[in-house]
């Protein structure tokens, strides 16, 4: 599983990354967590507001900082 944190590296992006890492740990799964900061790549993904979260290449959230439970729910759908 690949989880992408999409954004410029702002504090909200860091908070979303922390939530994703906690969700992965809480679920006891292995996942690669990547940061996407290149504006061309962000635009190609269709992200209009950051931070955004993509799981296995599918955009799941944009413009919101999700908590770990919310991220875990999105991950479960992809398992």
pLDDT at 50: 96
Which domains does the chain possess? 2-78 (3.40.30.10)
pLDDT at 33: 98
pLDDT tens across 8-35, in order?
Answer: 989 999 999 999 999 999 999 999 999 9
For residue 12, what are the CA distances in angstroms to 16, 38, 53, 65?
A: 6, 17, 12, 6
Is there a contact between 61 and 74 (Cβ–Cβ < 8 Å)? yes
Token match 């413009």: residue? 63
Adjacent-strand bridge partners of 4: 34, 54
pLDDT at 25: 98
pTM above 0.85, yes or no: yes
Q: Packing angle between helix 68-78 and helix 11-27, nearest 10 degrees?
A: 60
pLDDT tens across 52-68, in order?
Answer: 999 999 999 999 999 99
pLDDT at 10: 92
Active site residues: 10, 13
């Amino acid at each position: 599983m690949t989880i992408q944190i999409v954004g410029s590296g702002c504090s909200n992006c860091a908070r979303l990354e922390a939530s994703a890492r906690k969700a992965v740990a809480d679920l006891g799964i292995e996942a690669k967590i990547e940061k996407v900061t290149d504006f061309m790549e962000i635009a190609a993904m269709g992200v209009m507001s950051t931070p955004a979260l993509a799981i296995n290449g599918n955009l799941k959230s944009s413009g919101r900082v999700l908590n770990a439970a919310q991220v875990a729910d999105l991950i479960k759908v992809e398992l």
